Structure 1
Amino acid sequence: MMQLLYDYCEQIQLSSVDLRPYQINERVSFEYWLKTLREINAKHPISGLGIEIGGVVQPSHVGVLAYIAQNTANLAQFFSMSKHYINLWYHYTELHFEYQKDQAIIWWEQPSYVKSGLYVYETAISKEIMVSILWHLLIQLVGESNVHFNWIEFTSSKPLNTEPYHLFHCPVKFDAEFTRICLPRRLLELPMRRPDSILREILESHAEQSLNTLPQEDSFIEKVNHHILEALEQQCAFIEPIAEKMNMSARQLQKLLKEQGLSFQQCLNTIRLELAKKHLRDEVYSITEIAYMLSYNQTASFNRAFKSWTGLNPSQWRHQTQNAKKQLIYEI
């Protein structure tokens, strides 16, 4: 998927984004993926950015799953097996399928950090990319005249310019709880253009081997982050209760994190920093209130920690951010 971002930036000649060519099975952390989307959006801020990025997609960006899809009998067969193989393509958030009498609904989970207000916009762009990719891949699989969505829901706010979303020729809702796509059931019965059952078996065998060697660090780190966010809400951000919730000892949790090149304190600090920046930008809470929300017993402890992370204390960082925002508005 990182290759998709690289190819998109090459296409629009956005050379200032720090990207390079990626191997077909090369994987990065979800945080790195989101920060790259943030960088692209900052340097190329347009409505429907995810829709445009997804429009660049080729089967090689999706990997073996796209080639398996080309060799299934129909979309129903593809969707029935895609949940099993989805982690080979987009392993960041869980995908769900629901089948009703005359329609099928595809939807994505919201990661725990989004529920706490972190990476909200970047995750919304990521979901736009997924919807756009699905649209363009379906066209490649069964032909443009056959592809139709009943409706789409996005978690992002409605943009001033909704023209990019007209691509789907269906009702589009914004500010939804989940990103969802509704397809007519008849679409799932359409045959693929040139299916090859023997080739599909070969590809599935390769996919199974890839799944067996797939690293589990992203889902594990996501669980740790989820429990840290819950612990912060409960004013109990310590490793022991979090390890207990994950059915292991604190020592076991530290060992597993160490295998990923991390520590519990690093995970906790990363989340605290992102939440602190969010609250400081929002200008709703005082420094003391933010310290309490991040489970610090004393404001001075929060001030010292924040300065060690950013080089500025919270008040200085907030002031600097406010000035930068005012300067941007003045320039516009």
Structure 2
Amino acid sequence: MVDTRIASTYVQLLFEYLQGQGLDPVQLLGPAPGADEHFVSLPTWQRMLRRVDALEQRPALGLRIAEGVAARHFGVVGYAALACSTLAEALLRLERHHVAVYDVNPATIHEQAGCLVIEWGVERGRPGALVDETAIASLVQLARDMTGRCLPVQAVDFVNPAPADVRPYRDFFGGEVRFDRPTTRVVIAPTYLALPLRKSDPALLALLDQQAEALLARVAALPAAVDHWRRALVPLIREGRMSLAALADSQHMSARSLQRRLAEQGMSFQQLLDRTRQHLAEGHLREPSLDLAEIALLLGYSEQSAFTRAFKAWTGESPAQWRKLRQSEASS
């Protein structure tokens, strides 16, 4: 396969599974990835899964691992998904940012016969049953965790050959499970797409907002009204609702009134948004534990490339260049 990788939080999930089985994951697999290691290579992940599978010699390892999944195992992407109002919105957000978690084969979402279909091809190779089953089962389990409902899927397709016993798969997914298919797919019935999320980690979402507000507190002071609006933008940016109307609604005023009040302070909404994003970006870039893709997501960008273009327009440097220069300055 070409150079592919998965988020190191998947390794954390595997370590937690082993600990739950009374096993020492470090002794079995070696040290966990460091705090600054955002990804592990696909071959590394494959070796880990094969080692555990050979030890346990039980079917459906990926399904058992996935049972412990939560938003934190999807990193910032998982937390951002919790900010969505419905399961459909959360799944769309996960699809847009899947490379920050599972950079193997590209994912697409489309509608078919009224159902939502999430599909992975084999353009970049076939990672194998253990990898595929862990990833798909984790996604389904995350949807259940976010909604608080043990929702069955309409159907699941895998590109890999059928295992000797398919019953554990039917029991886990609750719908039709097929193997030896041309693509890997998860089909979700429309009944479940409008389910509200139970926001199972509100403390984590609040923490993200508090961290963002702390970053803003370090930059130049602004008039009280403008600073208030800037802080109100923080959750809207994270949720991807960056419009004058959304900010005005959060302040219980009309868009026209907010626009007029911003003008009185010598500022447009776009200037406020750009400056807020820039200040947040610079603060996040000083935090080595955040990957550029995660920072782009926290700033409401659907793609890292869009964040890079915007940051270069603000500062004249790419985010990677800006980070490297500041790190050099800090160490000198």
TM range (shorter): 0.5 to 0.7
Retained in 1: the 8 A contact 2:78–2:94?
A: no
Aligned AA for 1:148?
Answer: P
- Structure 2 CA distance for partners of 1:200 and 1:63, relative to 1, 3 Å: farther
Identical aligned pairs, as a percentage? 23
1:12 — aligned with what? 21
On the 8 A contact 1:5/1:53 being kept in 2, the answer is yes
Q: Supply the AA of the counterpart residue of 2:137.
A: S
Q: Distance in 2 between matches of 1:59 and 1:38?
A: 25
Match for residue 93 of structure 2? Answer: 81
What code does the residue aligned with 1:149 have?
V
Distance 1:198 1:20 in 2: 36
1:178 aligns with 2:190: no
Residues 62-141 of structure 1 mapped to structure 2, 5 A cutoff = 62-110=74-122, 112-114=124-126, 123-141=128-146
After superposition, the Cα gap between the structure-2 partners of 1:159 and 1:168, relative to the gap in structure 1 and judged at 3 Å, is same
* Structure 2 residue aligned with 1:201: 237
* Count of aligned residue pairs for this structure pair: 207
Structure 2, unpaired ranges of 5+: 1-9, 206-232, 241-276, 295-332
For residue 161 of structure 1, what is the aligned residue in structure 2? 165
Matched, 1:54 2:47: no
CA RMSD of aligned residues (A): 3.0
Please state how far the C-alpha of 1:213 moved relative to its aligned partner.
5.8
The one-letter amino acid of 1:10's match is Q
State the TM-score, normalized to the length of structure 1: 0.55
Preserved CA contact (<8 Å) 1:24 1:61: no
Corresponding letter in the other structure for 1:161: D
Question: How far does the alpha carbon of each residue in 1:274-297 deviate from its partner, in whole angstroms, 9 at most, with x for none?
Answer: xxxxxxxxxxxxxxxxxxxxxxxx
How many Å apart are 1:47 and its aligned residue?
Answer: 1.0
* TM value normalised by structure 2: 0.55
| Distance change >3 Å, CA 183–CA 200, structure 1 → 2 | farther
Deviation, 1:24, is 8.3
How far residue 180 of structure 1 moved from its aligned partner, in angstroms, is 0.9
- Residue 20 of structure 1 aligns to a residue in which SS? coil
Opposite residue 185 of structure 2, the aligned amino acid is R
Is the Cα–Cα contact under 8 Å of residues 100 and 293 in structure 2 kept in the other structure? no
Alignment of 1:228-307 (within 5 A): none
The alpha carbon displacement at 1:126 in A equals: 1.1
Q: Quote how far apart the aligned CAs of 1:159 are.
A: 2.1
Q: Write the letter of the residue equivalent to 1:89.
A: V
Deviation at 1:150, TM superposition (A): 0.8
